[in-house]
Amino acid sequence: MMDKIVLRKEAIRRHLQGESKTEISRALGKTRYWVNTWIKRYDPDDPEGSLADRLSTPKEPYRKWPREIINYAIQSRKLRMEAKAPGYEYALIGAEAIHYEMKSLGIKPTPPVRTIHYWLKEADLVVTEEMEAAEEEKVKKPYPAPKRDQVNELHQLDFKGPFYLSGSDQKHYLLALRDYASKRVALGVARNRKAQSVADFIVKAWQRIGLPRVIQMDNGLEFRGSNRYPRSFGKVVHICLDLDIEPYFIPQREPWRNGFIENCNGLINRLLLKRHNIPDFSALEIRTKDLETAINSTHRLSDLAGLTPNEYAANQPVCLLDPGYNGHLCNLPLVKGKISFIRLVRKSGRITLCAKDKFDVGTEYQWLYVRAQVDIQSQIINVFYQNELVKSLEYLL
């Protein structure tokens, strides 16, 4: 009988000679899963080691955690869920947040997140929530997302609502702006979905957390402008272009493309709207401001290596909007700047930017995503596929 290491080497040899996985599995009497496993594990720089059996023993020995540490984690979870104790009003409830709390308090060794999650589950304190369909969407097509690695490279903007306060039939809305890299948020409230409300909010938000290079939004008329005059654009776009910020409009009917801010909206719903009985608009403004402060200054996130959003952004260059800026109160001219639309090319080879404003891109790009960038000054549309310019079209304002 062939030695198992020799057998694995034989599988690799046959694979390198061009045999299919099916042929190899038949010749060696092994499953395709077995063949695929060792092809994936094979490292040409370490043939022997990569084809050897992996140790089944854990990397770290089992540790019996003191009962007081387990109890601390469970108590922290309860305080976070109740949200009544000082400092816990707007706290995150996950095992990750508890891990960073224990670490900051000097509890050593600090229990790993998975261990804390296990304790919470054993204590029946974990509720499995159904994920939204948008979050489950797996998109394999190349998608032209903007750069977003640096602080204030990309802001995402969205509305939440309408919702109603206790004893009132007045509609209220919450606006959320979030920096993708630092996770810092700016929150605001409004009594309507008008463009002026959005304009007032973003100006104040950029005076607090700084100006972005790109702002990403959905295709709501309060953001984009009129369907009747699709090339006129609205107040929000005018302000962005006046400040040299490029608006990015995500594909129509694909809200999960702004999933980052959608997740933020879910956080707002849990920490604010479902948690507090808010009597009036003034109280809503106060609560919203408190929540913004709590998210930015107390929420420690694994994406930020355990830092809060404010701590992560503290040493980064941030350009705050001039407190005296009043573009949102003026009728700004549309004379410069660029606006990007991410669009899926239809079977016909065409894309629709706004309303029924259609443009031919070419059938070779059907069912692929392109970025159509409107250049206001030149009055043309440059269409990019995977950052390569593929077409330029006239776009008369």
- 331-378 pLDDT, tens digit per residue, is 999 999 999 999 999 999 999 999 989 999 999 999 999 999 999 999
- State residue 161's pLDDT score: 85
pLDDT above 70 coverage of the chain, percent: 93
174-198 pLDDT, tens digit each: 999 999 999 999 999 999 999 999 9
Name the residue with higher pLDDT: 375 or 50.
Answer: 375
- State residue 137's pLDDT score: 44
The two counts, helices (H) then strands (E), for the chain are 14, 11
- State residue 61's pLDDT score: 54
Q: What is the C-alpha separation between 227 and 221, in angstroms, rounded? A: 8
**In a 10 Å sphere around its CB, with 0-12 CB exposed, 13-18 middle and 19+ buried, how is residue 266 labelled?**
middle
206-253 pLDDT, tens digit each: 999 999 999 999 999 999 999 999 999 999 999 999 999 999 999 998
28-37, 69-78, 131-140: segment of lowest average pLDDT: 131-140
Residue 138 predicted with pLDDT over 50:
no
Task: For residue 109, say if its preceding peptide bond is cis, omega within 30 degrees of 0.
Answer: yes
CA dihedral for 111, 115, 117, 121, sign (positive or negative): negative
Q: What is the C-alpha separation between 141 and 118, in angstroms, rounded? A: 36
- CB count, 10 Å around CB of 65? 13
**Closest-CA residue to 395 (of 339, 349, 345):** 339
- CB count, 10 Å around CB of 199? 20
- CB count, 10 Å around CB of 192? 14
pLDDT above 90 coverage of the chain, percent: 63
**In a 10 Å sphere around its CB, with 0-12 CB exposed, 13-18 middle and 19+ buried, how is residue 224 labelled?**
buried
Helix, strand, coil percent content, the chain, rounded in steps of 5: 40, 15, 45
Across-strand partners of 155? 179, 215
- State residue 57's pLDDT score: 54
94-110 pLDDT, tens digit each: 899 999 999 989 998 99
The pLDDT confidence band at residue 86, using thresholds 50, 70 and 90, is: confident
Q: What are the tokens at 20? A: 């299919």
Residue 85 predicted with pLDDT over 50:
yes
Residue 133 predicted with pLDDT over 80:
no
Q: What is the C-alpha separation between 370 and 127, in angstroms, rounded? A: 40
Average pLDDT, the chain: 89
Mean pLDDT of 265-283: 83
Q: What are the tokens at 26? A: 């038949």
Residues in the chain: 397
Q: Looking at residue 130, what DSSP letter applies?
A: P
Q: What is the C-alpha separation between 85 and 258, in angstroms, rounded? A: 33
Q: If you compute the radius of gyration of the chain from its CA atoms, what whole number of angstroms results?
A: 27
φ, ψ dihedrals at 62, nearest 5°:
-60, 135
Name the residue with higher pLDDT: 252 or 54.
Answer: 252
Q: Which parts of the chain fold into alpha helices (H)?
A: 4-16, 21-28, 32-41, 47-50, 67-82, 95-104, 113-122, 133-136, 195-209, 221-224, 235-242, 259-268, 281-298, 309-313
Q: What is the C-alpha separation between 175 and 195, in angstroms, rounded? A: 12
